Amino acid sequence: MASILASRQVSQAIRRNIVSLPVRLHSTSAVNRATEDHEPKFLQAVGMFFDEAAKHSNASAETLKHIKSTDSVLSVTFPMEKDGKTVMIRGYRSQHSRHRLPCKGGIRFASEVDLQEVEALSALMTYKCAVVDVPFGGGKGGIMINPKDWTESELERITRRFTLELCQKNFIGPGVDVPAPDVGTGPREMGWIADTYRNFNPQDVNGAACVTGKALSLGGVRGRTEATGLGVYYGIREFLSFPEVQKKIDHHGKVQDSSVIIQGFGNVGYWAAKFFEANGARVTGIVEYDAAVYSEQGLNIEHLAQWRKEHGTFRGFPDAKIIDSPMDLLEAECDVLIPAALERQIGLRNAHKIRAKLIGEAANGPVTPGADAVLRQNGKLIVPDLLLNAGGVCVSYFEWAKNLSHLRFGRMNKRWDERSKEQLLNLVEGNAGRPLSEVERRQMIHGAEEHELVYSGLEDTMIVACNETRQTANAKNIDYRTAAMANSINKIAASLAGSGSIFTHA
């Protein structure tokens, strides 16, 4: 009972005290000083990790070739008027795998968007969905613009025009392909996409499920905003509880009193920091693109978020050390390092300098293949991106299911559960001869709110996936990235085998 009440109190406290942070505007393809010129690009790196895991899978060579290949890519160009001139806008949507439908993956707005990035991210989405048993194929999209260069009205026109292109090419729909927020996009853009889709598909009663990450007023689900950061917390907590992990990295096994450094203070980094702080960890450092902030005693995350919202930077934040070369903080001593911003942030130039015991990949592809090998040789433990940052797509799945059912989670059973608990408590109090206090009674009778059901579903998903990864890693004596990818490959192969081969063989 005590643990249930404590968990609920933490959840309520976090949701009461939040700062609205701006959407991250920096794409994951940004150049950094961590990688050597000869290191593989993102798409090639994903392929290399796949090839290594394939050696430990049960799939045939033909099936592996099928799984690795991208099914479809849409490239569109359309004109947009700006300041009296015509600007050509380029956008992409990649459907990596349709072994399960719909395809699922975010849409990003960033000037660095290109085809190889979109294909790499869509491949990761395929493997990510499989590893956490979300019944989607992988997709990803992007528009090659810097959102800061466009007004809100112009961004709306661009978003709606891109959605129209997706509609015309059958690259969007509740049963076809379901986008979500990503770099440079958020609930606002998802609302424009949903409205455009419904206008061109008025007969689709499930139209709200064409996109996830929407505002609550448009059919979003409570808990989606913080989902990826919460999933990161659940995943790290689970891995720290494994005895073999504790022995390998010489750690006491609990989040409480662990030191954590997080790179990135956008949606994922902010929420991960909030959940670690609320559960007793010391978040000693936060790294952003212009500066980093460090305090050995632990940062006050809400104060830091408020400061950055008001000043646009960490600079000047009191009671903490400001680091002008932010990448240097990645090399500081800590229990857990969480890259939660950009890809390729730990490469051959800095991998040997990393002193964290555990690296949790909250971002997509933050560690290059070469750096991965160096870190493991140095005794570091890596919790991979395709597992650790799957919280977003997991809760997107819940939102999609909610939209298809046209029913809020808990609406049918909350009051019934409360009455049942009240009757049970009356019996317990009668037999015990001691009534509970009013506070205890309210907390025990309380029926689950939507966000509590979402949190519970996400927690179960992460626990199961982490333990499946652990079992494969221990059984085959391989690292967790390879184990998670091998599990993903086996699940996709089983799905393909169960579907038959009438359309794939002459």
Query: Is residue 4 exposed (0-12), middle (13-18) or buried (19+ Cβ within 10 Å)?
Result: exposed
Q: 399 pLDDT exceeds 60?
A: yes
- So what's the pLDDT on residue 29? 41
Q: Which residue has the higher pLDDT, 184 or 428?
A: 184
Domain 72-218 CATH superfamily = Leucine Dehydrogenase, chain A, domain 1 (3.40.50.10860)
Q: 491 pLDDT exceeds 60?
A: yes
CA quadruple 134, 272, 21, 344: dihedral, nearest 10: -80
Cβ–Cβ under 8 Å, residues 335 and 358: yes
Q: What is the mean pLDDT of residues 46-69?
A: 94
Q: Residues forming the annotated binding site for substrate?
A: 104, 128, 396
Q: Which one of the listed residues 55, 65, 68, 140 is annotated catalytic? A: 140
Q: What is the mean pLDDT of residues 177-192?
A: 95
- So what's the pLDDT on residue 128? 97
pLDDT digits (tens, 9 = 90+) for 103-156: 999 999 999 999 999 999 999 999 999 999 999 999 999 999 999 999 999 999
Dihedral sign from CA coordinates of 94, 97, 101, 105 = negative
Domain parsing of the chain, residue ranges: 72-218
- Give the percent of the chain with pLDDT over 70: 92
| Catalytic residue flag (residue 140) | yes
Q: Residues forming the annotated binding site for NAD(+)?
A: 228, 267
- So what's the pLDDT on residue 22? 47
Separation of alpha carbons 437 and 171, rounded Å: 56
CA angle, 40 then 491 then 126, to 5°: 45
Q: What is the mean pLDDT of residues 373-384?
A: 96
Please provide residue 137's backbone torsions phi and psi, each rounded to the nearest 5 degrees: -90, 170
Separation of alpha carbons 291 and 179, rounded Å: 32
pLDDT digits (tens, 9 = 90+) for 111-123: 999 999 999 999 9
- So what's the pLDDT on residue 409? 80
- Give the percent of the chain with pLDDT over 90: 75
- So what's the pLDDT on residue 38? 80
pLDDT digits (tens, 9 = 90+) for 446-455: 777 888 899 9
- So what's the pLDDT on residue 134? 97
Task: Report the predicted TM-score, pTM, of the whole model to 2 decimal places.
Answer: 0.89
Q: What is the mean pLDDT of the chain?
A: 89
**18 — pLDDT class (breaks 50, 70, 90):** low
pLDDT digits (tens, 9 = 90+) for 249-268: 999 999 999 999 999 998 99
Please provide residue 24's backbone torsions phi and psi, each rounded to the nearest 5 degrees: -65, 135
420-433 in b/e form (b: 16+ CB < 10 A) is eeeeebeeeeeeee
Q: Give the pair of three-digit tokens for residue 401.
A: 């299911």
Q: What is the mean pLDDT of residues 15-30?
A: 48
**2 — pLDDT class (breaks 50, 70, 90):** very low
- So what's the pLDDT on residue 33? 64
- So what's the pLDDT on residue 4? 46
**In the block, residue with structure tokens 């995350």:** 301
What are the angstrom distances between the C-alpha of 222 and each of 1, 396, 409, 410? 24, 11, 10, 12
Q: 31 pLDDT exceeds 70?
A: no
Q: 70 pLDDT exceeds 80?
A: yes
Amino acid letter, residue 35: T
pLDDT digits (tens, 9 = 90+) for 269-326: 999 999 999 999 999 999 998 899 999 999 999 999 999 999 888 998 998 999 999 9
Q: Residues forming the annotated binding site?
A: 104, 128, 228, 267, 396
